[in-house]
Structure 1
């Protein structure tokens, strides 16, 4: 029998599908809200036939709506010219808003892909010219960020003195990524705290799943904005799916009492309050999602700076909760 306290390990070889792995074993304290959300979000990739069917039906629906709107406007124009022109203006405004939303989503995908290209350029910078080109690209990404004026100035001043590509990349990461990493940590802690509170206090069956979905989407969007991505709604969903697919593939979603025991006494919490223990687990899984999203949104890999640890993030999130409660009660 599988031990529910052991992490789930999935053999990831070739193009294996994470959704085809064995289900996460049920334990006394497994953070079911985040596990269900992860399994549902990182679902099996659609086949070619499924994508063709989706495109066909969406095109058909758009065509039917367009013809219906045209018939409605022309019929209204024949019956009453004033009402017809009002309907025509409203349909035109709806079409314009749709085009603007599509343009925004397209731009959001472009910005997210730009972060990925920058990360690949940094990882492939094995000599000084490539390292300087990658540094120039990252500086160009944050040209219009007033909060990074001072780090950009220090990097621009010191970079001519460096003639080693590793040292140049380390300096770039230390100067530009450090303040962004701090802001990203605060967003992850806030999301983990919110998920933990809702799970512990709201007794509704699906409320914790809905709260986890909302908090994770908002957290991922904020992390993308912090690192220069500014993802839209579809971009945030796509990034969330990639993050959960990565977590499920590496077995990082399945955690139990042994994880929170290192910073909150998980065994005691699970006996005193099951809902509170579930809240801590869901908050820890939200922090894992945030760290994975940081790695995907960050234009540079973690080399000179340490990657945040889930235990520290959740501990700080819960500490912030207790501090606020003490100030409120005082």
Structure 2
């Protein structure tokens, strides 16, 4: 039997202090499902796009007082000018007669312009009512959906024997409901115009970017941006069966001023960024090409916004055009421009070779 003592004497340990209870979380847990689909963040609208939305939205109530004042002024002026012209022709006083005839011509032009403006506003209201009816197509029956489809055909200025309309009639069946008719309209009538609108936006935005990149003056850049933006939005409106009036064009010019200010400030920003941050864009894009790319992207954003607003039927969620689809095309156009400029020999190179 071993009588040796244990070299390690016994030790006593005090019990651990009780852990204080944790304070309850003031925010309760929120369970989330793991099978939710990914939804892209909505694109932020610029001030120019918001002005475009308000301009192409449904017009407000007609101001009958202002219209009555304008119509009465034109009518009384025409009567006064006609009376003066008749009296001058009887008395042989040709100078007042010439002024009266000129006034009659001016009043006639003003009256015709006012009539066209009212007709365009009426067409804009019909277009907005058509958008509301097409948005309710899933809840409509076959007969009502076909009636709305015929209204859309007339709004797009398509004949009865147009291939797109004939393709729609061949694809539509009596058992189709409103949702099926909506998909057929989107495929046969609107998809070809969507492709044409995308080519138009890409081409005109690329041309604007190239023009700004090669333009040496800031004032010329601003004029180019204003001119090309007005022309692009006007063509998009006509493509979907709309025509802007004089009031719409004035509001359009006001929104384009935002682009003009951007075109003037982007040149200063590009030089300031190159000086302060030593950002050498020559490896990828030069300063002028970078400015052209920024203006071209802004022009493309306004074009896409105008397309969404003027399209009679809203885009499906997964088919709405995005600015990212056009960014690469603008980049490639500017890269080709710089590559051709670098490949072209200068006068100094020719003199050195000679």
Task: Say whether residues 1:207 and 2:220 are aligned partners.
Answer: yes
CA distance in 1, matches of 2:100, 2:171: 60
Q: TM-score, length-normalised on structure 2?
A: 0.60
Task: Say whether residues 1:315 and 2:338 are aligned partners.
Answer: no
2:242 counterpart residue number: 229
Task: Say whether residues 1:182 and 2:191 are aligned partners.
Answer: no
Task: Say whether residues 1:218 and 2:212 are aligned partners.
Answer: no
1:142 counterpart residue number: 156
CA distance in 2, matches of 1:303, 1:207: 39
CA shift digits 1:151-200 (9 cap, x unpaired): 10111222234423212101111100011112211221232123212322
Q: TM-score, length-normalised on structure 1?
A: 0.63
CA distance in 1, matches of 2:189, 2:51: 35
Select the residue among 91, 110, 132 that pairs with 1:98: 110
**CA positional deviation for 1:201:** 2.1
CA distance in 2, matches of 1:297, 1:270: 40
Could you list the runs of 5+ residues in structure 1 that have no partner in the other structure?
1-6, 11-23, 25-34, 44-51, 248-253, 258-265
8 Å Cα contact 1:184-1:294 kept in structure 2: yes
CA shift digits 1:199-251 (9 cap, x unpaired): 22223233323322221111111111111112234324446778999x9xxxx
Could you list the runs of 5+ residues in structure 2 that have no partner in the other structure?
1-41, 55-62, 260-265, 271-278, 345-354
8 Å Cα contact 2:210-2:334 kept in structure 1: no
Higher helix share: 1
1:81 counterpart residue number: 93
CA shift digits 1:262-317 (9 cap, x unpaired): xxxx9846975222111111101111101110111110111288222323334335
Task: Say whether residues 1:112 and 2:119 are aligned partners.
Answer: no
CA distance in 2, matches of 1:270, 1:76: 76
Cα distance change on mapping 1:175 and 1:100 into 2, 3 Å: same
Cα distance change on mapping 1:244 and 1:42 into 2, 3 Å: farther
Cα distance change on mapping 1:161 and 1:8 into 2, 3 Å: closer
CA distance in 1, matches of 2:255, 2:127: 15
Q: Secondary structure at the match of 1:126?
A: helix
8 Å Cα contact 1:284-1:310 kept in structure 2: yes
Cα distance change on mapping 1:305 and 1:175 into 2, 3 Å: farther
8 Å Cα contact 1:243-1:292 kept in structure 2: no
Task: Say whether residues 1:157 and 2:170 are aligned partners.
Answer: yes
Task: Say whether residues 1:282 and 2:295 are aligned partners.
Answer: yes
**CA positional deviation for 1:108:** 1.9
Cα distance change on mapping 1:156 and 1:95 into 2, 3 Å: same
CA distance in 2, matches of 1:138, 1:40: 26
8 Å Cα contact 2:226-2:256 kept in structure 1: no
Q: Secondary structure at the match of 1:281?
A: helix
8 Å Cα contact 1:154-1:175 kept in structure 2: yes
- Which is bigger in relative contact order (C-alpha 8 A, separation at least 6)? 1
**CA positional deviation for 1:42:** 8.9
